[in-house]
Amino acid sequence: MSRLVKAGALLVVALIWATATLPQDVRSPILTIDSERFYRDSAFGQRVLAEIEEQTTILAEDNRRLEAELEAEEQALTDQRPDMEPEAFRALADAFDARVEGIRNEREARSRSIADLLEENRDRFLVSAAPVLEVIMREAGAGVILEQRSVFVSANAIDITDLAISRMDATLGDGTEQQ
């Protein structure tokens, strides 16, 4: 590797380190954080969101398959109707409706389960983040961390989102080791 490339790499590492340790160098009574980005860009958040996306995709594909099957079954039932006694058709139609309702309920339960999993993991992340954020507050001499989107104007607020992400990644990682 050339000296120029090595020097450039060292400069990048130095800039990242300087940015990551900002609250140690600057004192501010008010810090801000983008809580959505804090979660989304952390290793933990990225893993959870990827798992949720995978489960959602599987559910959507399964829903499309079931929808096609049910449409075909409904069409077959409709095609049989002229050749059936009304009572026999009604029994098949009622059974089909009950099956559709059961599938709908099961699909809704799976969807709620995925949403619950997302919420449980967000809560787990926030519980794990509290001590990390408290340390950052002490280092900066801050008395409060505000949600960045809630701050209209501030001359003295320091955004700690990147620092908080790097510390959470060091503390919690993607969360798979502590499950």
8 Å CB contact between 134 and 171: no
Buried b (16+ CB within 10 A) or exposed e, 57-70: eeeeeeeeeeeeee
Helix (H, G, I), strand (E, B) or coil at 1: coil
* pTM for this prediction: 0.72
> Could you say which residues of the chain have pLDDT below 50?
1-24
CA gap 16, 9 in Å, rounded:
11
Cα–Cα separations (whole angstroms), residue 68 to 36, 71, 120: 37, 5, 33
Cα–Cα separations (whole angstroms), residue 164 to 4, 26, 40, 47, 60: 31, 15, 12, 17, 34
> How high is the pLDDT of residue 155?
67
CA gap 31, 131 in Å, rounded:
15
Residues 6+ apart with CB under 8 A from 35: 147, 148
> How high is the pLDDT of residue 26?
67
> How high is the pLDDT of residue 15?
37
Structure tokens at 10: 């060292």
